[in-house]
Amino acid sequence: MRARRDAALRLLKTMLVASIVIPVAIFWYASWINYRSAFGHADEELKASLNILSQQSSGIFQSVELAFTAADAIIGDLTDEQIKASEQTLHSQLNKIEKSTTAIDAILIVDKNGHTVISSAVFPIPAGLSVSDRDYFRAQVEKDAGTYVGAALQSRVRNEPFFGVSRRRPLRDGQFNGIVMVSVAPRIFSDFYRELAAETTGSFTLSKSDGAILARYPTPPGDITHFRPDSGFMLSIVDHPEGGFVTTTHSADDVRRRFGYRKLGYADLYVSAGLQVNTIMYGWMRLMASHLIFGIPATLLLVGLVLLAMRRTRGLYAESERRELAEQALRQSQKMEAVGQLTGGVAHDFNNLLTIIIGNIGIAKRGVVEARAERALDNALVGAERAAQLTQRLLAFSRRQPLNPRVLDVNKLILTISDLLARTLGENIKLETISGAGLWNVEADASEMESTLLNLALNARDAMPEGGKLTIETSNAYLDDEYCGQQEDLKPGQYVLVAISDNGSGMTAETIDHAFEPFFTTKEAGKGTGLGLSQVYGFMKQSNGHVKIYSEPGEGTTVKLYFPRREGDEAAVSGNEQVGSERGRDETILIVEDDDGVRQYASEILRDLSYQIIEAKDSATALRLLEADKKFDLLLTDVILPGKNGRELATEVERRRPGTKIIFMTGYSRNAIVHHGRLDPGTALIQKPLIERDLARKIRQLLDTPSGGK
């Protein structure tokens, strides 16, 4: 089903991508074509403007050429003295030439020293009127510059801007004899440019090849008189001196424009026309927007239909998967319940039997002298203890192991057992622990967590027979709804992650699927019970956590344990265990146990420890002793008893004799003192099978605890 779902969703995703990509691709292609077309139209418009600018400029400079010709005819070979002598007459003649055209602002005759000899603009010539500092004069002094167009300047006579066009006067005695200068007013150009631009954003410029701006519309801001040498316009002139088109930011006003420029063929002058790129782009975007008005709704409709199909498909398959997961969960739950009932039913009687076996072997060892018999008893004891461990692991897997959780700092717990883990792994496996900063606390049974880490370390050791590295890393994590929806009984939220990674042989996907099943193992016969990971699984589920295995053959394995975050401070660990002697101090203990063998064993070892013992085989007998006012300091009772169970008996004792110390014994507690897998608060419990040293320590510890603190 998952394969069919993935195939259907892949097809729909392909359709979704295609429904977006194809219209977008068509739109971008059309946009690119129209973009090029927009700039093509702009270039055509600029070319037309350049034609107009060239014609207007050529007309003006033809007038300048006629003025030079007329001035040469009037001055002829006259010396400066002769010109001065006829100043008024010559002024009148030059003035007529000036007035004959609006393009010319003034005509000057200048001597070799830069002094104005005669001017069409003023008569008589003011004393000391010199142009020796002007560029149109300096350019002609050293060599014949031909027709030289100077930069835009401010007139000293009329106080208006102009640019001068100069030529050398005929040489006298082979020496420089001065210049003839025709003054041109930039307003002649700028006024024309303004009319040409009208209401558009067009800009027009008359400039020199060195970047000097002679006339421009709009007027350059501030005191800008030249294009920057590194501007796109100037660089384009260097590459294509005859003319061309370029898109650049205008150095005069920092506005990005599309420029067309053309060389006039007169004294290295250029005319240029520009359109703002924003204006071109606006026209292009307006055109494309008209396409989008129809394209977007159609595309959205198509995408919406595909999304609706995907949603319905996901819903259909999700419902099918939920049903499948529910069926799997039901089967798993039934299997777990069956195993739990089996282990629970067997555990009580089996642990009672193991108590009798282990206890009596221990008693028998005390009187054995022969070494061979002692070895036999030792072997029998080892076998019985292994059977007890097997029972505990079965209970852990079925989540019937009583837990005593407390708030823990996982980093501290790992640090505490790191030496034990290192010894367990051996010298050829390196252990590395990486403690996450700011790690949250968790609530878990410390001893079971230690057992879990030890089990995983042992599995990692077996996966690295030639040696390797085991890494235990902690960090804070968040499991989201999507991940938790794929797991069984896992709630989204904050978790503490403990990742145990090795670089061993790894596992196949099939092995991972069965890894948590009881008695499943890939080890050789006799080298594993198949309950290690089962115990880990049961503990994590009982702790409301989550466990996940990530592995590939030859790439190692990572087991991730997720513990729910627990607010609160780390619980203090009591440090009063094994303080003083574990022997009794003539206290009296009431033992309530329905199994005669277990009761006799417990009574015998406690009498040996100097306790006074009262025995009862069930709750009814214990209550009669209570009514008979039998005195005792501690009640040691089995949880599962005929009639009233141990919890009910303890409640009655506490009601009649407040402050009485109570210890429960259990091999399988059901729900009498354990709820949701956790001991009821304040409950003292010892697990069967009973071990003499553990029982003695537990009783002594509780008796030494002040009344009111259990």
Q: Which amino acid is at 416?
A: T
**Are the C-beta atoms of residues 72 and 97 closer than 8 Å to each other?**
no
In this chain, the answer to whether the domains covering 76-185 and 588-704 adopt an identical fold is no
Q: Mark out the alpha helices in 76-217 (DSSP H runs).
A: 80-85, 87-99, 135-141, 187-197
Mean pLDDT, the chain, as a whole number?
A: 82
The class of domain 588-704 in CATH terms is alpha beta
At residue 212, does pLDDT exceed 80? yes
Distance separating alpha carbons of residues 226 and 249, to the nearest angstrom: 14
Buried b (16+ CB within 10 A) or exposed e, 559-578: bbbbbbbbeeeeeeeeeeee
At residue 351, does pLDDT exceed 80? no
Order of strands, edge to edge, in the sheet holding 634-638? 612-616, 588-592, 634-638, 661-666, 685-687
State the average pLDDT over residues 673-678.
Answer: 50
Where residue 527 falls among pLDDT bands split at 50, 70, 90?
A: low
Distance separating alpha carbons of residues 585 and 610, to the nearest angstrom: 6
Paired tokens of 42: 């702009």
Whole-angstrom CA distances from 659 to 137, 489, 655 are 122, 40, 9
pLDDT in tens, 17-76: 887 888 888 888 888 898 889 889 999 999 999 999 999 999 999 999 999 999 999 988
Continuous segment of H or E residues that includes residue 462? helix 446-463
Give the count of beta carbons closer than 10 Å to the beta carbon of residue 117.
Answer: 21
Taken in order 567, 572, 574, 575, the sign of the CA dihedral is: positive
At residue 322, does pLDDT exceed 80? no
Q: Give the least confident one: 111-125, 382-396, 436-450, 483-497.
A: 382-396
Paired tokens of 453: 């880490």
Give the count of beta carbons closer than 10 Å to the beta carbon of residue 305.
Answer: 13
Angle, vertex CA 245, rays to CA 240 and CA 251, nearest 5 = 90
pLDDT in tens, 605-660: 899 888 999 999 999 999 999 999 889 999 999 888 888 888 889 999 999 888 88
Higher-confidence position of 9 and 162: 162
pLDDT at 580: 45
pTM assigned to the model: 0.44
- β-partners of residue 470 are 431, 502
Angle, vertex CA 170, rays to CA 165 and CA 175, nearest 5 = 110
Q: Which of 298, 417, 313, 344 has its CA nearest to residue 11?
A: 313
pLDDT in tens, 244-297: 999 888 766 778 889 999 999 888 899 999 998 888 888 888 888 887 787 788
Task: Please give the CATH topology (third level) of the domain spanning 38-61+186-300.
Answer: Beta-Lactamase (3.30.450)
At residue 673, does pLDDT exceed 60? no
- DSSP-derived 3-state class of residue 46: helix
pLDDT at 77: 84
pLDDT in tens, 546-591: 988 998 888 889 999 999 998 776 655 544 444 446 788 889 999 9
At residue 329, does pLDDT exceed 70? no
DSSP code of 616? E
Paired tokens of 125: 């010539």
Distance separating alpha carbons of residues 105 and 185, to the nearest angstrom: 6
CB-side exposure of 512: number of CA atoms within 13 Å?
Answer: 15
Where residue 349 falls among pLDDT bands split at 50, 70, 90?
A: low
**Are the C-beta atoms of residues 662 and 684 closer than 8 Å to each other?**
yes
Where residue 539 falls among pLDDT bands split at 50, 70, 90?
A: confident
**Are the C-beta atoms of residues 661 and 635 closer than 8 Å to each other?**
yes
Which residue bears the tokens 């088109």? 245
CB-side exposure of 71: number of CA atoms within 13 Å?
Answer: 29
Q: What are phi and psi of 461, to 5 degrees?
A: -60, -45
The class of domain 410-564 in CATH terms is alpha beta
pLDDT in tens, 132-185: 999 999 999 989 999 999 999 988 877 889 999 999 998 888 889 999 999 999
pLDDT in tens, 235-257: 998 899 999 999 888 766 778 88
pLDDT at 558: 92
Percent of the chain with pLDDT over 70: 83
Distance separating alpha carbons of residues 498 and 453, to the nearest angstrom: 9
pLDDT at 57: 92
Whole-angstrom CA distances from 598 to 522, 602, 683 are 38, 6, 21
Pairing relationship of beta strands 442-444 and 468-479 according to DSSP bridges = unpaired
At residue 1, does pLDDT exceed 80? no
DSSP code of 169? P
Task: Please give the CATH topology (third level) of the domain spanning 76-185.
Answer: Beta-Lactamase (3.30.450)
Distance separating alpha carbons of residues 259 and 235, to the nearest angstrom: 13
Higher-confidence position of 282 and 337: 282
Which residue bears the tokens 């930039």? 186
- β-partners of residue 119 are 108
pLDDT at 167: 93
**Are the C-beta atoms of residues 41 and 75 closer than 8 Å to each other?**
no
pLDDT at 366: 63
Axis-axis angle for helices 2-75, 187-197 (nearest 10): 140
Cβ within 8 Å of residue 393, ≥6 positions away: 529, 531, 532, 534, 535
**Are the C-beta atoms of residues 502 and 469 closer than 8 Å to each other?**
yes
The three state secondary structure string of 360-407 is HHHHHHHCCCCHHHHHHHHHHHHHHHHHHHHHHHHHHHCCCCCECCEE
DSSP code of 631? -
Spans of all domains in the chain: 38-61+186-300, 76-185, 410-564, 588-704
Distance separating alpha carbons of residues 418 and 431, to the nearest angstrom: 8
State the average pLDDT over residues 212-219.
Answer: 89
Paired tokens of 378: 């030792």
